[in-house]
């Protein structure tokens, strides 16, 4: 069996729930993943502690969505995990797609506020991988059956003032 490819990963929202869980998975699988960049909101102490545990240069740790967006232009990676909370995750989502990296998307607000903009930014159809519970479950359910079996999908508590039709990036 061929040796598995070690993926270079940037984690956006490293100090939040998604980010810390991802770091736990990466810690247990060092032969499969290498963290090459971290972005956090305001929890500087935890982010720098995460970098130290990873042996990551503090210059590859940024704070805020604007610097997270710039990080993708500065650091080469295979995968960007966007675990940033809220609509501020849209620009980092677009930057990740533009970089050509696979986007592990937990920031569903990017699709809510950016819909077609996000879908049009893909450089390949399989570039966005849903990793948050709701949209990951929907994507898995859609892949399990045929298109004719699905008439409508409803995601509860989603949309709010941004409600409306958003095309799914996953095959229906």
User: How many domains does the chain contain in total?
Assistant: 1
pLDDT, tens digit (0-9, with 9 covering 90-100), for 57-106: 999 999 999 999 999 999 999 999 999 999 999 999 999 999 999 999 99
Locate tokens 């390949």: which residue?
Answer: 124
pLDDT, tens digit (0-9, with 9 covering 90-100), for 83-97: 999 999 999 999 999
Q: Is 36 part of any domain?
A: yes
142: number of Cβ within 10 Å: 17
Average pLDDT over residues 38-56: 97
Q: Is 153 part of any domain?
A: no
Q: Is 155 part of any domain?
A: no
Beta-carbon contacts of 14 under 8 Å, excluding residues fewer than 6 positions away, are: 20, 22, 23, 38, 39, 40, 47, 50, 83
pLDDT at 5 (0 to 100): 87
CA distances from 31 to 27, 45, 56, 88, 142 (A): 9, 27, 16, 32, 31
Q: Is 57 part of any domain?
A: yes
pLDDT at 84 (0 to 100): 95
Residue 143 has pLDDT above 90, yes or no: no
Residue 85, domain CATH? 3.40.50.720
pLDDT at 82 (0 to 100): 97
Q: Is 88 part of any domain?
A: yes
Residue 132 has pLDDT above 90, yes or no: no
Residue 7 has pLDDT above 80, yes or no: yes
Phi then psi for 40, rounded to 5 degrees? Answer: -135, 170
pLDDT at 1 (0 to 100): 46
8 Å CB contact between 14 and 39:
yes
- Domain range for 22: 7-132
pLDDT at 71 (0 to 100): 96
Q: Is 152 part of any domain?
A: no
Q: Is 165 part of any domain?
A: no
Report the C-alpha gap between 92 and 113 in whole angstroms: 13
Q: Is 101 part of any domain?
A: yes
């Amino acid at each position: 069996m061929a040796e598995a490819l070690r993926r270079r990963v940037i984690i956006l929202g490293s100090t939040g729930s998604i980010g810390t869980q991802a770091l736990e998975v990466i810690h247990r699988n060092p032969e499969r993943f290498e963290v090459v960049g971290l972005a956090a909101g305001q929890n500087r102490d935890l982010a720098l502690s995460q970098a130290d545990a990873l042996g990551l240069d503090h210059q590859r740790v940024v704070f805020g969505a604007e610097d997270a967006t710039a990080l993708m232009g500065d650091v080469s990676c295979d995968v960007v995990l966007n675990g940033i909370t809220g609509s501020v995750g849209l620009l980092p989502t677009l930057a990740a797609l533009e970089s050509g990296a696979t986007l592990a998307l937990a920031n569903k607000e990017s699709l809510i506020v950016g819909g077609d903009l996000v879908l049009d930014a893909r450089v390949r159809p399989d570039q966005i991988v849903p990793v948050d519970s709701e949209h990951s479950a929907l994507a898995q359910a859609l892949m399990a059956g045929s298109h004719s079996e699905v008439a409508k999908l409803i995601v509860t508590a989603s949309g709010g003032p941004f409600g409306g039709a958003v095309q799914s990036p996953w095959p229906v």
